[in-house]
């Protein structure tokens, strides 16, 4: 596994939200009426008359909802090293970010239940449908419908953070890690703790960091601790991106993205987000617990808590 080429949580979310806020600025300040008029329907309800919707309270809530659910993926070669489900409510302007740990246990027919192919991050590589296969897997895990996907490459880390001019962030502790054998280049992370500006190169180190050199601190809860730091960094970066008013931000980072959103949909969604604030961002992790199965470490989903997450998302009493 090439550690240098890992795509981290921020390379996905910061990148996606920088693009999003670029379109947001365009919609707010230039008001592209022609595009907005074309984007009238929520992809989730397919234009169905909500009064005619039948089914359980949850099914009705999902169909009537103004939420747009997007699968965000950062790729490490052919593995989806980072998976996030982002749910944006176009009416309330609330954004829910649900991190899916890459070691999430997801056994599939035809593959071993006791090796790396039983992890959610193996789906992208082993199914020729790629993004669509991961979308299906996340729906299977959560029962949350997914409307669109966004994937980014490694260069999105640097492009996104540089596009917003760096991000002010309080690093939780001194992050010091050395790997002279990392390929293609040695890895040296040395970021003092405390408030500072995180630029593109430093962001890569911040979000790659897992454990410290001897005598330096590590995350006591491993990858879950790193996810918490990443989520805090995302919120700080969104706040910075929302202060920008130049659509040129889009051109800086858009070449690094692949998505099945159309330009019309992005502009319409950005128009709906006018008034959006970081106070409306809620981040969480797929409910579950880390556990070893054989010699492999997995993250075992908690099905009952995932159901609660689903009902909470759509504001339906369980």
Residue 221 domain flag: no
Taking the C-alpha atoms of residue 27 and residue 30, their distance in angstroms, rounded to an integer, is 6
| 210 backbone dihedrals φ, ψ, rounded to 5° | -125, -50
Residue 217 domain flag: no
The domain that contains 59 carries what CATH number?
Answer: 3.40.630.190
pLDDT at 92 over 50: yes
Interstrand relation of 148-152 and 288-293 (parallel, antiparallel or unpaired) = unpaired
Residue 182 domain flag: no
Residue 219 domain flag: no
Percent of all residues in the chain with a pLDDT value above 90, rounded to a whole number: 31
Q: What's the domain count of the chain?
A: 1
Q: What is the pLDDT of residue 85?
A: 92
Residue 171 domain flag: no
Q: What is the pLDDT of residue 249?
A: 55
Containing structural domain, residue 61: 3-162+248-313
Q: What pLDDT band is residue 302 in, cutting at 50, 70 and 90?
A: very high
More confident residue, 257 or 2: 257
Q: What 8-state DSSP symbol labels residue 119?
A: B
Residue 202 domain flag: no
Residue 156 domain flag: yes
Interstrand relation of 296-301 and 281-285 (parallel, antiparallel or unpaired) = unpaired
Q: What pLDDT band is residue 95 in, cutting at 50, 70 and 90?
A: confident
- Lowest model confidence (mean pLDDT) among 123-127, 147-151, 184-188: 184-188
Residue 213 domain flag: no
């Amino acid at each position: 596994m090439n550690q240098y080429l890992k795509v981290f949580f921020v390379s996905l979310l910061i990148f996606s939200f920088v693009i999003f806020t670029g379109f947001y600025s365009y919609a707010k300040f230039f008001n592209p009426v022609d595009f907005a008029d074309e984007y009238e329907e929520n992809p989730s309800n397919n234009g169905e008359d909500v009064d005619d919707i039948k089914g359980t309270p949850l099914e009705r809530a999902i169909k009537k909802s103004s939420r747009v659910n997007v699968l965000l993926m950062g790729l490490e070669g052919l593995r989806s090293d980072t998976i996030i489900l982002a749910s944006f409510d176009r009416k309330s302007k609330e954004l829910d970010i649900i991190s899916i740990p890459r070691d999430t246990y997801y056994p599939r027919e035809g593959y071993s239940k006791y090796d790396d192919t039983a992890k959610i991050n193996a789906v992208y590589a082993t199914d020729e449908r790629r993004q669509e296969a991961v979308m299906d897997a996340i729906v299977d895990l959560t029962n949350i419908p997914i409307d669109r996907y966004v994937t980014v490459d490694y260069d999105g880390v640097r492009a996104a953070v540089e596009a917003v001019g760096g991000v002010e962030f309080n690093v939780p502790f001194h992050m010091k890690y050395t790997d002279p054998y990392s390929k293609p280049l040695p890895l040296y992370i040395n970021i003092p703790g405390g408030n500072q500006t995180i630029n593109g190169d430093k962001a890569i180190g911040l979000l790659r960091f897992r454990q410290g050199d001897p005598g330096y601190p590590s995350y006591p809860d491993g990858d879950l601790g790193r996810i918490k730091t990443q989520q805090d960094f995302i919120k700080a970066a969104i706040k910075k991106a929302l202060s920008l008013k130049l659509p040129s931000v889009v051109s800086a980072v858009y070449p690094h993205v692949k998505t099945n959103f159309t330009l019309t949909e992005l502009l319409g969604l950005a128009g709906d987000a006018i008034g959006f604030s970081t106070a409306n961002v809620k981040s969480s992790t797929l409910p579950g617990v880390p556990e070893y199965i054989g010699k492999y470490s997995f993250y075992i989903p908690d099905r009952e808590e995932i159901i609660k997450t689903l009902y909470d998302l759509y504001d339906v009493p369980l």
